[in-house]
Amino acid sequence: MQITLSPVRREGRPTFERLGDALVIDGETFDFSGVPEGAQLPAEAVASDWLAGPVTRIAGELHLALALSHGANAPHETLFPDPVQVASDGAVPLPPYDATAPEEASA
């Protein structure tokens, strides 16, 4: 599963988890196994505010975009994230929500 992250200033962040051809967002499962090769499922067809673009299947792999919420002090890696390749089931690795304050980092 190839995931493009689209940063957006927004309070809170859900958990994202891959489960085969499904994506679990905060415990709600969105099954994309029915998306055939070369097809595109528009984001509007999925009842989630976290999907930021269409879901497509290219060479057997799902490609999708997720909104990446971040805090007011988000680090560069969060504001300009690299795409995420999720090869197996489990949590989708995400960059930090916010930068750690200097006093917290030295404690």
Q: pLDDT of 62-87, one tens digit each?
A: 999 999 999 999 999 999 999 999 99
Per-position b or e across 48-63, b if 16+ CB within 10 A of its CB: eebbbebbbbeeeebb
- Please determine, for residue 104, whether its predicted confidence score (pLDDT) is greater than 50: no
Question: Which two three-digit tokens encode residue 84?
Answer: 């995420």
pTM of this structure:
0.87
Q: What percent of the chain has pLDDT over 90?
A: 91
- Per-residue pLDDT band for 101 (boundaries 50, 70, 90) equals low
Give the whole-angstrom CA distance, residue 21 versus residue 35: 9
Tell me, rounded to whole angstroms, the distance of Cα 97 from its chain centroid: 13
Average pLDDT, integer, range 32-40: 96
Give the whole-angstrom CA distance, residue 32 versus residue 58: 13
